């Protein structure tokens, strides 16, 4: 449950990036979790066990690594968009979408309502301070934030799409 807020952020980003496919905006918001699954699969991260203390995810969810991944994936998006006249914009926005995941996690962690042993997000690697605002200390906050962010994100997405269609219609009438 505590991962759909990223969907809302990806949907809302359509407002600032109308020329980027919403699927890419959503994917950018999930890059850190996708990396976590990959690192857990090869043993660099640990799978949470019921009731056991878990170490925070360092290789993708620490502040330092979120910045690194944001820059790397922004550069990758820039390179993949090399045929687009908006390639710089695409790279910057995708990098920001990757980092937006960390911002949402910073607001929500430690999410003790979902994972009682969660202690926060590390600044870098082991033995660095754990940080987070801890919004998800109650299930009420989890439900309101998760569902609310998707509803608000979807509303912004729909508004942005309508606005794009209006501008497109106006441009085609003016061009005639």
pTM of the model: 0.88
Using CA atoms, how far apart are residues 12 and 20, in angstroms rounded to an integer?
Answer: 12
Angle in degrees, CA 161, 89, 5, rounded to 5: 55
What's the pLDDT tens digit per position in 72-108? 999 999 999 888 888 899 999 999 999 999 999 999 9
Spatial separation of the C-alpha atoms in residues 76 and 99, rounded to whole Å: 14
The answer to whether 106 touches 6, Cβ cutoff 8 Å, is no
3-52 pLDDT, tens digit each: 899 999 999 999 999 889 999 999 999 999 999 999 989 988 887 676 66
Helices and strands per DSSP (H, E), number in the chain: 5, 2
pLDDT value at position 143?
Answer: 96
- The overall average pLDDT reported for the chain is 90
- Residue 176: band (very low, low, confident or very high) from pLDDT cuts 50, 70, 90: low
Q: Could you tell me the pLDDT band of residue 139, with boundaries at 50, 70 and 90?
A: very high
For residue 136, the 8-state DSSP code is G
Within 10 Å of residue 161's Cβ, how many Cβ atoms? Answer: 14
The SS3 call for residue 60 is coil
């Amino acid at each position: 449950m505590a991962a759909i807020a990223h969907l809302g952020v990806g949907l809302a980003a359509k407002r600032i990036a109308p020329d980027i496919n919403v699927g890419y905006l959503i994917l950018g918001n999930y890059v850190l979790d996708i990396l976590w699954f990959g690192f857990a699969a090869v043993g660099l991260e640990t799978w949470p066990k019921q009731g056991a203390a878990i170490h925070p995810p360092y290789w993708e969810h620490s502040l330092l690594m979120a910045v690194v991944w944001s820059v790397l994936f922004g550069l990758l998006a820039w390179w993949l968009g090399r045929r687009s006249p908006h390639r710089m914009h695409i790279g910057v926005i995708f990098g920001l979408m990757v980092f937006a995941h960390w911002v949402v996690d910073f607001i929500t962690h430690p999410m003790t309502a979902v994972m009682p042993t969660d202690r926060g997000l590390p600044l870098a690697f082991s033995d660095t301070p754990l940080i987070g605002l801890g919004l998800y200390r109650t299930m009420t906050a989890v439900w309101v934030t998760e569902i609310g962010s998707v509803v608000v994100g979807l509303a912004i997405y729909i508004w942005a799409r309508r606005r794009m269609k209006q501008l497109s219609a106006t441009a085609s009438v003016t061009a005639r």
